A and B are shown apart, each in its own frame.
Chain A
């Protein structure tokens, strides 16, 4: 997967920053997309383009279990989030719904705003096409790979239920 980086050099970007609770009255990704990252950067929905990759510091997505934090990003066409670490539920939600969470040490130092990136899950790498450097990402647990390969948890569950 290839995409352009949007970098927030910040740790602990919580779910209220990603999507404030007042917008949890819908689960429509398009509607949620208009308010994505509103408390951190009101310009985000204007800045973001289809296929972009969000890059941030440690503990991305801490706080609530709201999957709306995933949908508001996918609703904007975001393909993946690269962070130095993730809060547990956000990481799982990303795997389950198909917003790829990528753990990369020193992510905000290795990637600058606007860099072109290529993520290769099979190889376990992120390539910064702009800087020409390639980095190893934290490998996924085997079961998470199965869900990623199935295209999300619901597809995986359907397959299992039909077995």
Chain B
């Protein structure tokens, strides 16, 4: 029977020749990714139940990321519980502050996730890992506890939606704009319990790190996973980061999809998702002139080196508006250092933006840029829900790093193309 890449990965991890949507499976996990918000409750759940077992310490990758460096005593306690557990179980893959970063970016950057693997984490954006052709699934803390103890996770094999994207992106238009356009068509529950498999010439032309935006925000349409069949670029990318063997699987040409959606992005304009759903995408021309108080470049969606380069290119020769706080947050320590080496951090500071150590921080209203009542932020992050970045009467607009930078210069939502 023809299979999708997702079905092939699932089948291999539950000892079957093939699987079909709707089938219950219990899969073997290759990687469990852990951070300080959802893992300590999982550790507590294990302790409460008298289970002091980690299925395989070498398959667990840990970094504190949401509230780090610790923002207060309570979050310090969470990070400490995580660190103590890492030591107790001799988990080697631990990224302490100074080596840390946002967990999904860390995992990909260091080659912990490879094509054909299975990954779970207590984090909804675990769907990101489909970018290298792996199966990644977000789970809650109780389920994470079970996964840590048993190395397995149960679920019903999901159907797959094929999203085909064709056309060459214009100047100033990026993968974020493509994703906001897709979300505006699929809606926030258009892919619930399903996988989104991205194909098409636009995907082929994108670099791996730009594709991340598409797999990362698949959950914003409710998807279990966003996935892209590995190609030459994927292979080069992962082999630069790992010398481990991996299983290269791809969808069969005649694999079955529950639906097939086509997008032509050749005339796509920069997009902005207005409050309070990521599916509220509009072209920048329809939103421009909305005043902003803060502009954030960062997050597991758009905090990579390419994102920083794109924002810096817009800022070049310009300054952040006097009424705007622009905050740039490289997603990991390695990206931070690379940006330093390339002179990007100096460019940001010269333009009156501030640069933070890697953290999820303001994306979820944690710290490093929380909004007051009535304030508005344009951000390269992934969610613009009510109160997402702070006060319930503050607002978040989602956009590409370039659009965020252009808006920071103008003090209002702006089209980046005039600065390129």
Contact = CB atoms under 8 A, between A and B. Distances in A.
B224 interface: yes
Contacts of A87: 189, 192, 222
Interface stretch (A113-121, A125-133, A152-160): A152-160
B368 to A, nearest CB: 13
Quick one: which of A22, A85, A152, A158 has the most chain B CB within 10 A? A22
A24 B41 CA distance: 10
Nearest to A20: B387
B153 to A, nearest CB: 10
B188 A12 contact: yes
A92 B124 CA distance: 12
15 contacts: A14-B386, A16-B365, A16-B387, A59-B222, A63-B385, A66-B140, A67-B140, A67-B141, A87-B189, A88-B192, A141-B24, A143-B24, A153-B143, A154-B49, A154-B142
A83 B118 CA distance: 31
Given A70-B140, A152-B142, A12 B189 contact: yes
A95 to B, nearest CB: 9
A93 interface: yes
Interface in A27-43: 27, 38-40
Nearest to A42: B392
A25 B67 contact: yes
B188 A16 contact: no
Contacts of B192: 59, 85, 87-88
A16 B37 contact: no
B74 A26 contact: yes
Quick one: which of A65, A66, A153 has the most chain B CB within 10 A? A65
A62 B384 CA distance: 12
B207 to A, nearest CB: 28
B150 A143 contact: no
A21 B366 contact: yes
B215 to A, nearest CB: 16
Contacts of A59: 188-189, 192, 222
Interface string B383-417: 10111100010000000000000000000000000
Contacts of B122: 65, 67
Given A24-B66, A58-B189, A62-B189, A158 B49 contact: yes
Contact of A66 (B38, B145, B156, B366): B38
B124 A67 contact: no
A65 B123 contact: yes
B378 interface: no
A154 B222 contact: no
A16 B146 contact: no
B400 to A, nearest CB: 21
Interface residues of A, number: 42
A89 B140 contact: yes
Contacts of A96: 140, 142-143, 146
A6 interface: no
B72 interface: yes
A44 interface: no
A82 interface: no
Nearest to B386: A39
A97 interface: yes
A89 B154 CA distance: 13
B44 interface: yes
A62 B45 contact: no
B386 A17 contact: yes
Contacts of A40: 386
A117 to B, nearest CB: 24
A24 B37 contact: yes
Contacts of B75: 25
B138 interface: yes
A22 B140 contact: no
A64 interface: yes
B188 A62 contact: yes
Nearest to B194: A88
Nearest to B71: A25
B78 interface: yes
B365 A65 contact: no
Nearest to A160: B150
Nearest to A27: B41
Contacts of A142: 24
B149 interface: yes
Given A20-B387, A59-B188, A154-B45, A88 B224 contact: yes
A89 B149 contact: no
Interface in A63-107: 63-68, 70, 85, 87-89, 92-93, 96-97
A140 to B, nearest CB: 11
A88 to B, nearest CB: 5
A26 B388 CA distance: 18
Given A26-B74, A27-B41, A87-B189, A92 B140 contact: yes
A65 B140 CA distance: 5
Given A65-B122, A88-B193, A39 B387 contact: yes
Contacts of A85: 189, 192
A27 B141 contact: yes
